[in-house]
Amino acid sequence: MQGRSPEQESVGSGTKRSSVSSGDRSRNQKEFFYKFVESEGLTAELVDWFESLTEKCAPKQQAFDVPFELIELQKFDYALEGISFQQLIRMPKAVHASTSDAVEATAYLAIEDFLHASVKGLWEAFWSQDELMPFSVACLYNSNMKFYQAEKAIANGRLGGLFATGILLNNSRHPHGRWDHVLELALLRPDIRGLAVGCDQKPSPSVLGEALFCAVRMLLARSLSRLSFFPDSSTIFVLLVDSQYGGVVKVEGDVNKLNFDVNNVYGCAAEWVKNHSRISVSPINRIWNKLGNANWGDIGALQVLFAIFHCIMQYAGMPKHSVEDLAADHSSRLQTRRIERQLEVTRENGNGLFRYQQHSVSPEIVEVQEDSVKVESKELMRLEVGSLLWLEDSDWQKGYQIREVINTGELTYYTASYVEDPEKNMFLYVGSHPSQLEPAWEDMNLWYQVQRQTKVLTIMKQKGLSSKYLPELSASGRIIHPGECRRPISGGNCDHPWCGTPILVTSPVGETVAEMVCTGQFGSDEAIRCCHDCLSALSIVGSAGIRHGDIRPENVICVKSGVRHPYFVLIGWGHAILEDRDRPAMNLHFSSTYALQEGKLCSASDAESLLYMLYHSCGGVFPDLDSVEGALQWRETSWSRRLIQQKLGDISTVLKAFADYVDSLCGTPYPMDYDIWLRRLRRNIHDEDRGKEIVATG
């Protein structure tokens, strides 16, 4: 776990800050924080700004972006299947609806129980079922800004002064909590949906002002803290809830850009909000039903859970079980459900070219014409050796015959030959039907393999990035299915289940490094040539700011057919990093240290993954890795003891020197010097066929 215990407080454990922040600025910052205690002061400073934002927005246009995209929530929803959340205290039907305090008290108990159930379920599902949950839930008392258990606060007559409910880090030294220990706050306010403005159901300025006050105060506390367990201390999530509905406010920004004028704390904070923060606000959706039970699978609860998930990750680092891993299990769960319902029926059409599975039964009569096939049920395509497949590529139709079916255990793809040129083989990838979201979510790898890789290779082609060490986009388009296509004139697909299925065709073809290792064909010469060829590919795409993000033995092929000397090609570009928001594949064995820690790539990340691949392919042994923490520990031990360098040094001194170079760059912003290492590696390749290297242009 990356986070350290809140009790391990010391000056040395603080986040890195410039020495300029000491002295007067530090004292002003502390005084600013202690004076920043009233949400009304900040809200009053922001009223005009809220109104101006509303006036600038066109009808039905939102003033703020949403914190989460729908596709993120869909994937998270699949990951949560089978995870148990149980709220024991039901939410009362209406907060503040009665003159009695009983309803309001029950509401605070219910929201505290809801947050406890949420954080406990997420911690055990994604991080650890064995370790004790390091969080607690408590309510914030407005007059002294301290935290109390809701039951104790109500018993001590503090109900009227409760301001929010928070998720905090456990710390026995501070029973009433510290603001730099707060992961997330939830504001319980009456009739959130009724106060929402506009058809997009965003919260009112008064409620949003309170949320921004909480966010700014949390950011200030973290900037003053000597603790270092917040890898990303510049992002805050605040929840807004009532007895039925809820939403999420996300605030991002560098609080060090705030002017710490202690005589104008709310004015300065408002200026920071306007000029230096990024605010995202979700729609207000239902969380609790009329019985007071949480609808855990609905979008209202889902976006709240996703915000809590991100807050836990700020403390605990990357989870042991990623969202992608748990979402992928949806496939097996769906298959089990189909078997239970006895829906799976395998059929084969008359041409013997395809196989499909019928996923539903219907008593209706299906009309079958001689040259047409019309099936109302969803079908999954199955291609076999000898099958013919026709592809619609722009205005052309291209035919391919399947030569080999390749199954890696995770994915299935094919070696195929072009009908008009049977001697030329290519890799052929078949995607999911665009209208069938469910199969695409069953196996996200398939989407990355076809649709995402098509996008990446197209961009590389448009930018003139080409080399024999990079795959070439031969064709991409949609399958032409058997029978008559009744595609509407206006566009779209007909009702045939294969219509519109995306296809990707690339060249050249070759044997993967994984296969070469299994057959004992990957020796020292191959290791040096592989390192050179993969670095050449990375150098070319790196000039355009593109990184691979998924280097492993299955994504490097050796081309031997039709060439004097074999060479290696870096394939599998579906997880390539094109822009900052892209995320690399997560692989416990081959991902770089920075990718496992931060979910991003640094300049040397691909080279580090390449070294792990060479280490493994040359006989290096990986331990049994079942968690991110274990993978990071192995990397730290291996580099500190120079195990990687020693193993590669048995192959070649240049590989050992290259490993030392990459080790010095890992996690730093310094760029890779590809040219010098390409020259050194080239000098160590025996009988080298330099070939025709085409550098990036455009």
Residue 364: band (very low, low, confident or very high) from pLDDT cuts 50, 70, 90: very low
Residue 347: band (very low, low, confident or very high) from pLDDT cuts 50, 70, 90: very low
Phi, psi of 517 (to 5 degrees): -65, -40
Q: How far apart are CA 288 and CA 364, in angstroms?
A: 40
Least confident of 417-421, 617-621, 638-642: 417-421
Of residues 95 and 496, more confidence is placed in 496
pLDDT on residue 230: 55
Residue 483: band (very low, low, confident or very high) from pLDDT cuts 50, 70, 90: low
Please answer whether residues 534 and 556 qualify as being in contact, where contact means their C-beta atoms are separated by less than 8 angstroms: yes
Max avg pLDDT among 403-407, 443-447, 548-552: 548-552
pLDDT on residue 618: 94
* Residue 682: Cβ within 10 Å count: 15
pLDDT at residue 370 greater than cutoff 60: no
Residue 606: band (very low, low, confident or very high) from pLDDT cuts 50, 70, 90: very high
2-31 confidence digits (pLDDT tens): 443 444 443 333 333 334 445 566 788 889
pLDDT at residue 37 greater than cutoff 90: no
pLDDT at residue 445 greater than cutoff 90: no
Mean pLDDT of the chain: 81
561-579 confidence digits (pLDDT tens): 888 899 999 999 999 999 8
pLDDT on residue 90: 86
* Residue 379: Cβ within 10 Å count: 21
pLDDT on residue 291: 84
Compute the average pLDDT of residues 655-661.
95
Q: Angle at the Cα of 234 (from 167 to 294), degrees rounded to 5?
A: 35
pLDDT on residue 274: 92
pLDDT at residue 91 greater than cutoff 90: no
688-697 confidence digits (pLDDT tens): 444 444 444 4
* Farthest-apart Cα atoms in the chain, separation: 90
Residue 333: band (very low, low, confident or very high) from pLDDT cuts 50, 70, 90: low
CA distances from 5 to 147, 309, 469, 520, 521 (A): 19, 19, 48, 48, 49
665-678 confidence digits (pLDDT tens): 887 888 899 999 99
Of residues 448 and 23, more confidence is placed in 448
pLDDT on residue 178: 84
Q: If you ran DSSP here, which 8-state letter would residue 16 be given? A: P
pLDDT on residue 420: 82
Least confident of 213-222, 423-432, 490-499: 490-499
Q: Angle at the Cα of 184 (from 65 to 236), degrees rounded to 5?
A: 40
Least confident of 155-159, 172-176, 441-445: 441-445
185: which strand partners? 166, 238
* Percent of the chain whose pLDDT exceeds 70: 78
501-543 confidence digits (pLDDT tens): 889 999 999 999 999 999 999 999 999 999 999 999 999 999 9
Residue 496: band (very low, low, confident or very high) from pLDDT cuts 50, 70, 90: low
Q: How far apart are CA 511 and CA 553, in angstroms?
A: 10
407-425 confidence digits (pLDDT tens): 887 788 999 998 888 888 9
Phi, psi of 504 (to 5 degrees): -125, 130
Q: How far apart are CA 122 and CA 85, in angstroms?
A: 9
Please answer whether residues 265 and 50 qualify as being in contact, where contact means their C-beta atoms are separated by less than 8 angstroms: no
Q: What's 533-563 look like in SS3?
A: HHHHHHHHHHCCCCECCCCCHHHEEEECCCC
The set of residues, in sequence order, having a beta carbon less than 8 Å from that of 485 and lying 6+ positions away, is: 494, 496, 499
pLDDT on residue 335: 63
pLDDT at residue 239 greater than cutoff 70: yes
pLDDT on residue 557: 97
Least confident of 213-227, 436-450, 513-527, 614-628: 436-450
pLDDT at residue 123 greater than cutoff 60: yes
Q: How far apart are CA 467 and CA 459, in angstroms?
A: 15
- Which domains, and CATH codes, for the chain? 23-134+178-326 (no CATH), 382-509 (3.30.200), 516-687 (1.10.510.10)
pLDDT on residue 3: 43
Residue 167: band (very low, low, confident or very high) from pLDDT cuts 50, 70, 90: very high
Q: How far apart are CA 641 and CA 31, in angstroms?
A: 47
Q: How far apart are CA 230 and CA 233, in angstroms?
A: 5
Q: Is 204 helix (H, G, I), strand (E, B) or coil?
A: coil
Q: How far apart are CA 234 and CA 66, in angstroms?
A: 18
pLDDT at residue 313 greater than cutoff 60: yes
Phi, psi of 246 (to 5 degrees): -165, 165
Residue 334: band (very low, low, confident or very high) from pLDDT cuts 50, 70, 90: low
The set of residues, in sequence order, having a beta carbon less than 8 Å from that of 625 and lying 6+ positions away, is: 588, 589, 631, 634
pLDDT on residue 641: 92
Please answer whether residues 498 and 369 qualify as being in contact, where contact means their C-beta atoms are separated by less than 8 angstroms: no
